[in-house]
Chains A and B, each alone.
Chain A
Amino acid sequence: MELPTPLSAAIGAAPPLGAGAAEATPEVGCEARDRAGISLRRVTKRYGSRVAVAELDLDIRDGEFFCLLGPSGCGKTTTLNLIGGFVAPTEGTVWLRGERIDTLPPHRRPVNTVFQSYALFPHMTVRENVAFGLRMDGVPKGKARVRVDEALALVGLEAQAESAPAQLSGGQQQRVAVARALVKRPAVLLLDEPLGALDLKLRQRLQVELAQIHHEVGTTFVYVTHDQEEAMSLADRIAVLNDGRIEQVGTPEEIYRRPVSRFVADFIGHANFIEVEVEGDAARLRDGTRIPCGGRHPDGPATLMLRPEAIRLVAADDPEGRLSGLVLKASFLGSQMRVAVESPASELPLILSLPGHEATAVPEPGTAVGLAWGADDALILEPAGATPR
């Protein structure tokens, strides 16, 4: 968001935005550069008195791998259904490449969905399943056959074309669902927790496959998940949803490094939260320690957020140390060492994560230590129990 550096290159994902994406996908018109692939404008969906999605504003770029991330009941599937057409917005509009689509029924939208249950048609073969959408579009038989073969090759299921869905494994069924949706060459592919029903190993393998497929076809993917690791590893950008509202939209790194709320900081990765009082340009901790915080925050109660790996362990008398404390427990976990430090500045022990290969010695419990971190690594967020912004 405010963060200036483009981080996608460092993560190794496909170029997510703007001119780069437009060049990579030639079928996208010039106006797509300034027009988002999908736009939701102040979309609200109410079920009776329950608000599923509230005043959502969201722009998803053409060709992007976009994740809707959040706990169950946060409105992410409703958002997906609003794009797919299975849910009509109570208020607001939905746009696809500059055209309004919220008034169109699902079968008229150039959008296809991979359902969590896959929803394969059990009375048809794999080939018939994949061909269904083309038949509905009236694509001539010969042409349809070629495209079905292409789609099946894309997901590596040529050999299972004549099987019934019930004869396939869960992972294969998932691939059929992807092929069936992609064969229609949709402007947007919606995926509703598509790997939710699979075991961890298979899920990780299919994540890589989905990323490859996205890279190959260049279609916009909108992917719903509650698994932050899955979202981080797949997405160009992530929208974190909570309670029907968007908390934050950004690249995985932005969201991890610059969360805008306690919720986001807590939901993505691990975080230490210290209750503080902002006074002018510093935050006062409960033991009186003052930590400079740039003065951009209103005075009053707030939260200081520190990622476990942002904290370094220094000698107790090291002037770099911003806080002092006693080691409670240190655990060696292979790739990292986790150290819990009790400090008078924080109500809860602070958790540090040190790289495993650097940690020469596991500190003894009771050792007095100093805690240091870079000035940018500490974030001031809203206090506990308050709503952000």
Chain B
Amino acid sequence: MIAEAGAAGAGPLRDRLGRAAASYAGFLPAALLFGGFFLVPLAIIVCYSFWRVVDYSVVHDWTFDNYTYFFTTPTYVSTMWATLWVSCLATAITIALAFPFAYWLSRHVPRRLRAPLLVLVVVPFWTSYLLRAYSWLTILGEKGLLNRALEGIGITSHPIGLFLYDRPAVILVLVYLYFPFAALTLYSSIERFDWDQLKAAMDLGAPPLTAIRRILVPQVKPGIVTAVIFVFIPVLGEYLTPQIVGGTRGVMIGNLVVNFFNAAQYTRGAAISLLIAAFVIVLLVVFRRSLSAPEAYGA
């Protein structure tokens, strides 16, 4: 009896496994790509971060030195904190500008004008990132547009160097560069909102701000979270913008990575890259409930 049952059970089980294998076979290309281009390189970087460089070559000596070196060097630690607050501030400003824009676009712009306006938002992507960052030099520089305009109006008598080569310039350019991502994501989220709901909430006794907090925000939250992630993660690893408009005072953690790799300090560079990755993971864990895949890809 038992033997029979076992034999009878084994057949279907094998069948089931076979079917499962067959149904997962479709994932194979994706799994290979993901493994080959993401997991393996990541594993290499993790290993690098625990090795040492001796005479410009990597030695497979396991050590925490790279991490202790980073955290015991005050400049690096302060750069890390600066990167965090610059990223947070740039993200906050981007969202704070993109949200009203998306709101305005979906509420006050006639339907036929929305598509052209959205195209205008995306137009900057048609030029290279470098070009867009460099063009700010001609606006913010000592002989730039801004200084000349100020002198023209008579507010200043000599060029002000303040606009360039510091963190404000970095934040400004980052906001400019990442605004389209946030605007598109937020728009796709707000555009689906039924505004009668806000009217209904106020009709039921909610003051305007309560209505927004209780009714609008919960429903567009996935869009806001997605926008935050779309902006914060790339900004955290930025190195070109701080290099172009930030100068020595605008250095971000991404510049440290580049510097270390340029100086053949691969293991230290790897350790810092993993620090950035750690921040990203923390962010994703915090927001994991609110992040919806359709929202991210709908935009």
The interface of chain A, by Cβ under 8 A from chain B, is: 84-86, 105-107, 111-113, 115-117, 119-123, 132-133, 136-137, 180-181, 184
Contact = CB atoms under 8 A, between A and B. Distances in A.
B204 A105 contact: no
A123 B197 CA distance: 11
Given A107-B204, A136-B201, A181-B204, 11 more contacts: A105-B202, A106-B199, A107-B208, A111-B203, A112-B204, A117-B194, A119-B196, A119-B200, A133-B204, A136-B210, A181-B203
12 contacts: A85-B203, A107-B205, A113-B199, A115-B199, A119-B197, A119-B199, A121-B197, A122-B219, A132-B206, A132-B214, A133-B204, A136-B210
Of A84, A112, A116, A119, chain B has the most CB atoms within 10 Å of the CB of A119
Contacts of B204: 107, 112, 132-133, 136, 180-181, 184
A86 B201 CA distance: 12
A84 B199 CA distance: 10
B203 A123 contact: no
A122 B196 CA distance: 12
Contact of A112 (B203, B206, B207, B211): B203
A40 B218 CA distance: 37
A123 B201 CA distance: 13
Interface string B47-82: 000000000000000000000000000000000000
B218 A107 contact: no
B215 interface: yes
Nearest to A81: B199
Contacts of B218: 123
B225 to A, nearest CB: 15
B212 to A, nearest CB: 12
B201 to A, nearest CB: 7
Contacts of A184: 204-205
A85 B202 CA distance: 10
Contact of A115 (B200, B206, B210, B215): B200
A136 B206 CA distance: 6
Given A122-B219, A123-B218, A136 B203 contact: no
A115 B196 CA distance: 7
Contacts of A86: 199, 203
Of B194, B203, B218, chain A has the most CB atoms within 10 Å of the CB of B203
Contacts of B215: 121
Interface in B200-238: 200-208, 210-211, 214-215, 218-219
A111 B203 CA distance: 7
Contacts of A123: 218-219
A88 to B, nearest CB: 14
Of B204, B205, B219, chain A has the most CB atoms within 10 Å of the CB of B204
Contacts of B211: 107
A133 B211 CA distance: 11
B197 A136 contact: no
Nearest to B198: A119
Given A107-B206, A107-B207, A123-B218, A132 B201 contact: yes
A184 B196 CA distance: 19
Nearest to B200: A119
A107 to B, nearest CB: 5
Nearest to B195: A119
A123 B206 CA distance: 16
Contacts of A122: 219
Given A123-B218, A123-B219, A106 B203 contact: yes
Among all A-B residue pairs, the 6 with the closest Cβ atoms:
A133-B204, A136-B205, A119-B196, A119-B200, A106-B202, A113-B203
Contacts of A133: 204-205
A136 B219 CA distance: 19
Given A113-B200, A136-B210, A119 B194 contact: yes
Interface in B93-114: none
Contacts of B201: 121, 132, 136
Contact of A107 (B194, B197, B203, B214): B203
A167 B206 CA distance: 25
A78 B247 CA distance: 58
Contacts of B214: 132
A192 to B, nearest CB: 9
A140 to B, nearest CB: 15
Contacts of A137: 205
A136 B208 CA distance: 12
Nearest to B218: A123
Of A106, A133, A181, chain B has the most CB atoms within 10 Å of the CB of A106
A269 to B, nearest CB: 33
A119 to B, nearest CB: 4
Nearest to B207: A107
A120 B215 CA distance: 10
A315 B210 CA distance: 73
